[in-house]
Structure 1
Amino acid sequence: MSDAKTLTVEQRRALLSTPAGWLACGFGSGLAPKAQGTFGSLAAILPWLLLRHLSLPLNLLVIAVGFVIGVWACDIAGRAVGVDDHRSLVWDEFIGQWIALLPALLAPWWAVVAGFALFRLFDVWKPWPIRWFDRHLKGGLGVMVDDVIAGVFAAVVLWAVLRLI
């Protein structure tokens, strides 16, 4: 068994052998040797570039469906690697990043950079209530919820900045 930071070859194999594991590790972006959350958040911008052309209601639908699927996938993947919220599970970063970028749907390019930075700030800093949910919820739901809240915090700040400018 590995610690919470590294994956054994067997854990990697178990993670990548199922669609749930492949999705939970962000199509491989969570397998970066360091800064897995940052790599997952960066990888999330690629599909967001397609999502940004959808209406706000369709974006919200994609995020809601992605959240539900993420709870399922991260639960299975966490059991496969033996760690509830392993660093390699970054689908939560995808959903949180997409939420953070909602105000950037019709904004200039720099809003995407700001949304990325704000999401990473709240995801790493984990102010209340993010930290509380991170510590108290377990399984796939626990993996997903703290990043959703971090995404909401980032979206609110980004929206405020865009309104002030």
Structure 2
Amino acid sequence: MRNFLKKLATLFGVGLSPKAPGTVATVATIPLVFLLNWAGPIPYMIVTFLLLPVGILAAEIYEQDKGSHDSQEIVIDEVVGFLITMVWLPLTWQAILIGFVLFRLLDITKPLFVGYLDKKIQGGLGVMVDDVAAGMVASVIMQLLFTHTNWLGSQILVG
């Protein structure tokens, strides 16, 4: 189980990418967003909710074995953060693009309380919490765009 969680922390090796592992992991999460969106809002929310404590545990175990905090190889936090960003949104290329850029921007720059959380909370929870916060901020912005503009385009029909 420990080995599985360490692999999950790196999204089965995606986090070992030599360049921009967080960005690569966010791109790798796009098919999961499509799959969960196709499954419906309840399965989407359940999987996202369950990935949070599992991700915290995976990050904690990875950190213990590596002896460092928030290694760039740990990318399960980007997966959960991007899933949060894209919840309850239409599957359009515009939504995916805007959500991707917005989440990565917030995750990288860590504005406001996102940066505070990143600095103050240690362990697996500390790895996950800033990306969850970035995903929540991005999700609120995306929901505002969805309900108040036509920037997110027309729904892609899946299935």
Q: Choose the corresponding residue for 1:157, options 134, 138, 141.
A: 141
Q: In the alignment, which residue of structure 2 is the partner of 1:4?
A: none
Aligned equivalents of 2:63 and 2:26: distance in 1? 19
Aligned equivalents of 2:91 and 2:29: distance in 1? 18
Q: Choose the corresponding residue for 2:131, options 147, 150, 161.
A: 147
TM-score by length of 2: 0.88
| Aligned residue type for 2:135 | G
Alignment length (residue pairs): 148
Q: In the alignment, which residue of structure 2 is the partner of 1:86?
A: 71
| Aligned residue type for 1:26 | L
Aligned equivalents of 2:138 and 2:12: distance in 1? 24
Query: How far off its partner does 1:102 sit?
Result: 1.1
Deviations 1:2-55 (A, max 9, x none): xxxxxxxxxxxxxxx811110000111100111111011111112222111122
Deviations 1:118-150 (A, max 9, x none): 100100110111001100111110011110010
Aligned equivalents of 1:92 and 1:111: distance in 2? 20
Q: Is the Cα–Cα contact under 8 Å of residues 25 and 75 in structure 2 kept in the other structure?
A: yes
Q: In the alignment, which residue of structure 2 is the partner of 1:56?
A: 41
| Structure 1 unaligned spans of 5+ | 1-16
Q: Is the Cα–Cα contact under 8 Å of residues 114 and 134 in structure 2 kept in the other structure?
A: yes
TM-score by length of 1: 0.85
- 5 Å matches for 1:54-133? 54-104=39-89, 106-133=90-117
- 5 Å matches for 1:31-46? 31-46=16-31
Give the ranges of 4+ consecutive aligned residues of structure 1 lying more than 3 Å apart after TM superposition: none
Aligned equivalents of 1:61 and 1:133: distance in 2? 24
| Structure 2 unaligned spans of 5+ | 151-159
Query: How far off its partner does 1:156 sit?
Result: 1.1
| Aligned residue type for 1:120 | R
Aligned equivalents of 1:103 and 1:150: distance in 2? 16
Alignment RMSD: 1.3
2:39 is paired with a residue of what secondary structure? coil
